[in-house]
C-alpha cells in the first residue's frame, strides 16, 4: 500500500515508521532497560517489523548477533534499508517460528508488541521457549486491556458506537491481556521460569490530527463476525463521526497547549528459560 497526497510513494515500511514508531519507541526504551545481553550473545528480535528493537540492540550491544524474524516482507525491507543493507551482526528471517526452520538458541529474546497480535499467544510463548538457550531470557512488551490502553480503546469504542455491527473495544484480541496474571500464567504454562509481569505505563503525545492518523490508519476495524470493515469505503459523514467520537473519548487527556497525552499502557514480561 502506498500513501496518498503528501505521502504518495511512501513504502509500507516508511508508513509504519511514520505512524507507529512515535508510539512504539517508548516501549523500546523500557524493554531494553536493564536487560543483560552477553558479549557476542545471540539475540532474537521476535516480530522485528522495521527493526526498531534490532537496531536499538545493535547500538547498545554492538558485539551481539541479532536475528530479526517477521512474517511481513514489506516491513523487513525497511529494516534492511535502515540497517544499511547486509550487515555482519544481523540475520533477517522472513516468517514465524512455526513457518521457518530457524535454529537459533537465543541468549535473549525480545518481542515488542507482537504477542497480542498472534492467534495463539500461549503457543507462541512455547515456540520462543524452544528457541532459547538454557538460562536465556525473554523480554516481551504486550498491550494491556482497554481500561489501560486507552488510545486504541477510544478508537474501537467510538467505532462500535458509530458503525453498525462494529466490535466493542473489549472484544478485540489486541487488548486481551487485561490482567498481568493472565500473561504470567500463560508464560508459566509455556515452560518459562520465574515469569514476572510489570506495568509499562507509557503515553503518546500528539496533536488531534496525528492521533487520528495513527489510530485510523494503523488499527483494523472488525465486525462481531470477525470480518474486516473497510474504512476506505466509509462515507465522509461516518468517517467524520468516528473521528469526532474518538477525540471526544480522549478529551480528558487534552493538555493546555491543545495536544493530547493519551495513556498507551502495556505490560513488560520477563522470564527465564
Ligand atoms: C506492532 S508490530 C511491532 C513490530 C516491532 N516489534 C516494533 O516494535 O516496531 C507487530 C509485528 O509482529 C509481526 N508478527 C505478527 N505475527 C507474528 C508471529 N507469529 N511471529 C512473529 N512476528 C509476528 C507483524 O508482522 C508485525 O511486524
Q: Give the distance (Å) from ligand 1 centre to CA of residue 218.
A: 13
Three-state DSSP at 205 gives strand
CA 207 from chain centre, in angstroms, equals 21
Adjacent-strand bridge partners of 138: 109, 271
Residues 6+ apart with CB under 8 A from 68: 45, 48, 51, 54, 76, 79, 90, 91, 92, 93
Lowest mean pLDDT among 86-95, 137-146, 224-233: 224-233
Ligand 1 probe mutation, 49, 122, 190, most atoms within 8 A of CB: 49
Tens-place pLDDT, residues 54-95: 999 999 999 999 999 999 999 999 999 999 988 999 999 999
Cα–Cα distance for residue pair 134/70, rounded to 1 Å? 24
Confidence (pTM): 0.95
Cβ–Cβ < 8 Å for 69, 97: yes
What's the rounded Cα separation, in Å, for the pair 107 and 112?
16
End-to-end CA distance of the chain: 39
78 C-alpha to ligand 1 centroid (Å): 14
pLDDT of residue 86: 85
Integer-rounded Cα Rg, in Å, for the chain is: 19
Q: 55 or 34: which carries more pLDDT confidence?
A: 55
* The predicted structure's pLDDT at residue 85: 86
Does the Cβ of 47 fall within 6 Å of ligand 1? yes
Q: At what angle do helices 180-189 and 121-130 cross, to 10 degrees?
A: 50
CA of 162 to the centre of ligand 1 (A): 29
Mean pLDDT of 2-23: 85
Q: Is 13 in the pocket of ligand 1 (CB under 6 A)?
A: no
pLDDT at 4 over 70: no
Segment holding 66, helix H or strand E = strand 65-70
Query: What is the side-by-side order of every strand in the sheet holding 65-70?
Result: 90-94, 65-70, 42-46, 106-112, 132-143, 266-272, 193-200
pLDDT score at 6 = 72
C-alpha cell of residue 37: 545481553
User: Please, are residues 260 and 205 in contact by the beta-carbon 8 Å criterion?
Assistant: yes
Distance between Cα 237 and ligand 1 center (Å): 33
Q: Distance from the CA of 116 to the center of ligand 1, in angstroms?
A: 10
Closest alpha carbon to 242 in 271, 219, 265: 219
Q: Which three cell numbers stand for residue 105?
A: 538458541
- Give the Cβ contact number of residue 162 at 10 Å: 19
Amino acid at each position: 500500500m502506498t500513501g496518498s497526497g503528501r505521502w504518495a510513494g511512501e513504502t509500507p515500511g516508511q508508513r509504519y515508521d511514520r505512524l507507529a514508531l512515535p508510539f512504539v519507541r517508548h516501549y523500546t526504551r523500557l524493554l531494553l532497560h536493564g536487560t543483560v545481553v552477553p558479549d557476542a550473545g545471540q539475540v532474537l528480535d521476535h516480530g522485528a517489523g522495521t527493526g526498531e528493537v534490532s537496531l536499538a540492540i545493535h547500538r547498545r550491544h554492538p558485539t551481539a548477533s541479532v536475528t530479526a524474524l517477521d512474517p511481513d516482507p514489506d516491513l523487513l525491507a525497511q529494516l534492511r534499508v535502515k540497517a544499511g543493507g547486509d550487515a555482519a551482526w544481523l540475520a533477517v528471517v522472513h516468517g514465524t517460528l512455526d513457518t521457518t526452520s530457524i535454529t537459533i538458541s537465543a541468549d535473549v529474546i525480545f518481542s515488542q508488541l507482537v504477542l497480542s497480535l498472534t492467534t495463539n499467544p500461549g503457543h507462541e510463548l512455547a515456540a520462543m521457549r524452544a528457541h532459547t538457550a538454557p538460562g536465556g531470557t525473554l523480554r516481551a512488551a504486550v498491550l494491556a486491556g482497554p481500561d489501560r490502553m486507552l488510545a486504541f480503546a477510544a478508537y474501537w469504542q467510538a467505532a462500535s458506537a458509530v458503525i453498525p455491527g462494529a466490535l466493542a473495544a473489549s472484544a478485540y484480541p489486541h487488548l486481551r491481556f487485561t490482567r498481568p496474571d493472565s500473561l504470567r500464567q500463560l508464560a508459566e504454562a509455556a515452560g518459562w521460569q520465574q515469569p514476572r509481569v510489570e506495568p509499562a505505563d507509557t503515553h503518546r503525545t500528539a496533536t488531534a490530527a496525528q492521533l487520528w492518523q495513527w489510530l485510523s490508519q494503523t488499527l483494523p476495524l472488525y465486525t462481531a463476525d470477525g470480518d474486516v470493515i473497510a474504512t476506505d469505503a466509509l462515507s465522509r459523514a461516518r468517517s467524520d463521526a468516528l473521528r469526532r467520537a474518538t477525540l471526544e473519548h480522549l478529551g480528558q487527556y487534552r493538555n493546555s497547549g491543545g495536544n493530547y497525552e493519551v495513556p498507551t499502557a502495556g505490560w513488560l514480561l520477563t522470564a527465564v528459560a
